[in-house]
Chains A and B, each alone.
Chain A
């Protein structure tokens, strides 16, 4: 027998997990055309920063979580300047060799995958060397809520609220602000945007920083519920990639829709038939989506809209 509240809470849980796991990745991929295979390790940095801030520095949890996002954002900017755009190595090489030594990785999918995969290996092993195979974890705040024979973690419900808040904030940032307008201009037509006076280099840097900060915040938010270890990023990677691919080109709407659809599938199947079947159902759904909606959900919506405009 299926309990409706269980299912609803499970859906919220899956939705929050998918949306939070995918948000940073979607922004970096959608806007820069860079596939960040180190996404899981950016989440790792956020989780470790938040945890260490609480256990070593004694900061309050909320402050530690914000710190997790900020540190990861700064690390993202560093990554973008050094590896993705190569701006800093080129600055040095211009002065010593008189030429650039690094080509930016924007819109070079395969190349960006290899570079960021290397970065992910370095980060995982670097974490292991610096902090060992595990660090002490945080306990989950807020305790459970109870209903009938069941109970559920309140913190998980809070996470769902936070994920929706983040989606709204990201939507606002990219559609209602000056920065968002310049960022979208950069995606649509880089040259024209440059001609209109948009500093596209800076847009890329900031976008990567924002995407990284979101990944770090995700890690910080999940720090109290996952085990602290150097490979913790792995568990987010599959969901995040599936969500981005199923979501399609529109960053915010795509992430929200695929979080909704995939979260529902995951919740229903894992509640009815167990975790294993839930996971299978998720991957089958991704397969079907890719086969029939190669541009993802928002790509399909875009197509429909175009067709309607043509028929009018």
Chain B
């Protein structure tokens, strides 16, 4: 487990005045704005709005970095169809209002050809009306609760049905049928908890109880007691954000020794690196990507991990969403080359024709195998992994397979090329047990 050098930080940390000294770097903190390319008609512009400060900085910063890595690689290899990529990159600071302002700027003033923006579902829903009104090609790259069927949005992260769909059946088989759900109290957590109920029903398991926890909460004593009282076989945790990370530390110190399945921990905020062992022991993450995913194009020599840390030697971790930003930039490249233009309606048509990436013929999808963009739903048939952390926080893959996104295609009947719409479907509309 290699850690980045901290010599600069050690130096700064040498005195209490370090905090003040750090301010000198304040003006340099604003993200770089454009890559160094000749400004001509032979360029195209990509907007990247990812959180580099604020509540989601820890998980958003790698997204911005991975986008820049993909763009630099593509530019170094001759660009897209001979066009160099310019970027419009800003830090929305985890602030949804700032997201809305910057999205308008990106579309109306910068005329971006494609936009990558936003970590949380709340952010996505805050800017989606602006995206739709302006008919802007938009990539949302976070793993999320699922259900967005929108003609201009490509939700290329895995959904709850994919993430929970791989980890929950495995845990039922390994440990038993009784589940206790804890989730963050906003749309992502609520809908994910509904998915736990749906999947529990499909796998003959039952949910003993559930608790929704405000994002600002960081004390979990009573939650831990309530879990112990319910005595489940395993816990499903969809806790989100820095405050909720305290749960894992606290359950370890309280001696709550129970397997935990999750769609949020480890892969995004690398808790297994940040927290002292054994806080994350016996945590099973259902994810499409982690830095530790053992594919050749990921951890092999000169693979994704090597290239990322060569460009960002001080970066702490390469997280799940960073990979999604990375491969979706390549998907966009493929689509533009197939369409032969950057005109957005034509590029969307090309994307809807079913773009594929994979380790065999194309190394741009480090999560493994061939992954395919489903044109009907704008979602990706991901290669999913169950990653388990042990007592020493070593992470190993215990299971992996490809899982298509079936909720939109099979259950909700989302077919965007035939029926353009801008809806978010929720499991409550289709499953009794989710109510």
- Residues in chain A within 8 A of chain B (CB atoms): 1, 3, 6, 9-10, 13-14, 17, 45, 49, 52, 56, 71, 74-75, 122-123, 125-140, 142-146, 149-156, 224-229, 231-232, 234-235, 238, 267, 270-271, 274-276, 278-279
Knowing A17-B219, A227-B246 touch, does A128 contact B57 (C-beta < 8 A)? yes
Given A45-B16, A227-B242, 15 other A-B residues pairs in contact with their CB atoms under 8 A: A3-B229, A13-B219, A125-B26, A125-B29, A133-B53, A133-B57, A134-B316, A137-B275, A143-B253, A227-B249, A227-B275, A271-B222, A276-B185, A276-B212, A276-B213
* In the bound complex, CA of A136 to CA of B274 (Å): 4
A234 touching B216 by the CB < 8 A rule? yes
Cβ contacts under 8 Å, A13 to chain B = 219, 221
A6 touching B13 by the CB < 8 A rule? no
- Residues in chain B within 8 A of chain A (CB atoms): 6, 9-10, 12-13, 16, 18-23, 25-26, 29, 53, 55, 57-58, 61, 185, 211-214, 216-223, 225-226, 228-229, 231, 242-243, 245-246, 249-250, 252-256, 269, 273-277, 279, 314, 316
Interface of B is mostly: helix
Knowing A1-B229, A75-B16, A153-B253 touch, does A275 contact B222 (C-beta < 8 A)? yes
Cβ contacts under 8 Å, B55 to chain A = 231
* In the bound complex, CA of A225 to CA of B221 (Å): 11
Cβ contacts under 8 Å, A132 to chain B = 9, 314, 316
Residue among A130, A150, A154 with most chain B CB within 10 A: A130
B9 touching A143 by the CB < 8 A rule? no
Residue among A49, A142, A274 with most chain B CB within 10 A: A274
Knowing A133-B61, A134-B316 touch, does A139 contact B213 (C-beta < 8 A)? no
A225 touching B253 by the CB < 8 A rule? yes
Residue among A71, A145, A156 with most chain B CB within 10 A: A156
Knowing A10-B222, A275-B223 touch, does A151 contact B16 (C-beta < 8 A)? no
> Residue on B with the closest CB to A137?
B275
A166 to chain B, nearest CB (A): 19
B13 touching A131 by the CB < 8 A rule? yes
A129 touching B214 by the CB < 8 A rule? no
Cβ contacts under 8 Å, B226 to chain A = 271, 274
Cβ contacts under 8 Å, A238 to chain B = 216
B255 touching A153 by the CB < 8 A rule? yes
Cβ contacts under 8 Å, B25 to chain A = 129
Q: What are the 9 closest A-B residue pairs judged by CB atoms, nearest first?
A: A144-B255, A139-B276, A140-B253, A151-B255, A130-B22, A153-B253, A270-B222, A129-B22, A227-B245
B12 touching A130 by the CB < 8 A rule? yes
A to B CB contacts below 8 Å, 13 in the list: A3-B225, A128-B57, A129-B23, A137-B274, A145-B255, A146-B255, A149-B228, A151-B256, A153-B221, A153-B255, A226-B218, A227-B243, A274-B213
B359 to chain A, nearest CB (A): 31
* In the bound complex, CA of A227 to CA of B18 (Å): 21
B50 to chain A, nearest CB (A): 13
Cβ contacts under 8 Å, A9 to chain B = 221
Cβ contacts under 8 Å, A71 to chain B = 16
* In the bound complex, CA of A128 to CA of B222 (Å): 31
Cβ contacts under 8 Å, B225 to chain A = 3, 6, 10, 150, 152, 271
Q: Which of A52, A128, A139, A229 contacts B249 (CB 8 A)?
A: A139
* In the bound complex, CA of A211 to CA of B292 (Å): 45
A43 to chain B, nearest CB (A): 12
Cβ contacts under 8 Å, B23 to chain A = 122, 125-126, 129
* In the bound complex, CA of A45 to CA of B17 (Å): 11
Knowing A56-B13, A227-B245, A275-B223 touch, does A143 contact B255 (C-beta < 8 A)? yes
B213 touching A225 by the CB < 8 A rule? no
> Residue on A with the closest CB to B245?
A227
> Residue on B with the closest CB to A229?
B242
Cβ contacts under 8 Å, A146 to chain B = 255
* In the bound complex, CA of A234 to CA of B241 (Å): 13
A118 to chain B, nearest CB (A): 12
Knowing A131-B9, A137-B276, A227-B218 touch, does A149 contact B22 (C-beta < 8 A)? no
Knowing A130-B12, A152-B254, A267-B222 touch, does A137 contact B185 (C-beta < 8 A)? no
* In the bound complex, CA of A133 to CA of B64 (Å): 14
* In the bound complex, CA of A183 to CA of B229 (Å): 49
A202 to chain B, nearest CB (A): 21
> Residue on B with the closest CB to A41?
B19
A151 touching B217 by the CB < 8 A rule? no
* In the bound complex, CA of A71 to CA of B16 (Å): 7
Knowing A13-B221, A139-B279, A150-B225 touch, does A134 contact B246 (C-beta < 8 A)? no
* In the bound complex, CA of A1 to CA of B226 (Å): 10
A130 touching B18 by the CB < 8 A rule? yes
B246 touching A225 by the CB < 8 A rule? yes
B13 touching A126 by the CB < 8 A rule? no
B218 touching A235 by the CB < 8 A rule? yes
A151 touching B228 by the CB < 8 A rule? yes
* In the bound complex, CA of A6 to CA of B229 (Å): 10
B216 touching A275 by the CB < 8 A rule? no
* In the bound complex, CA of A130 to CA of B256 (Å): 35
* In the bound complex, CA of A30 to CA of B306 (Å): 56
B9 touching A139 by the CB < 8 A rule? no
Cβ contacts under 8 Å, B61 to chain A = 133
B255 touching A275 by the CB < 8 A rule? no
* In the bound complex, CA of A14 to CA of B19 (Å): 31
* In the bound complex, CA of A146 to CA of B314 (Å): 42
Q: Which of A52, A224, A235 contacts B13 (CB 8 A)?
A: A52
* In the bound complex, CA of A56 to CA of B212 (Å): 37
Q: Which of A10, A14, A74, A134 contacts B274 (CB 8 A)?
A: A134
A2 to chain B, nearest CB (A): 9
B222 touching A274 by the CB < 8 A rule? yes
> Residue on A with the closest CB to B254?
A153
B275 to chain A, nearest CB (A): 5
Cβ contacts under 8 Å, A226 to chain B = 218, 246, 249
A4 to chain B, nearest CB (A): 12
Cβ contacts under 8 Å, B218 to chain A = 226-227, 235
B229 touching A279 by the CB < 8 A rule? no
Cβ contacts under 8 Å, A152 to chain B = 221, 225, 254-255
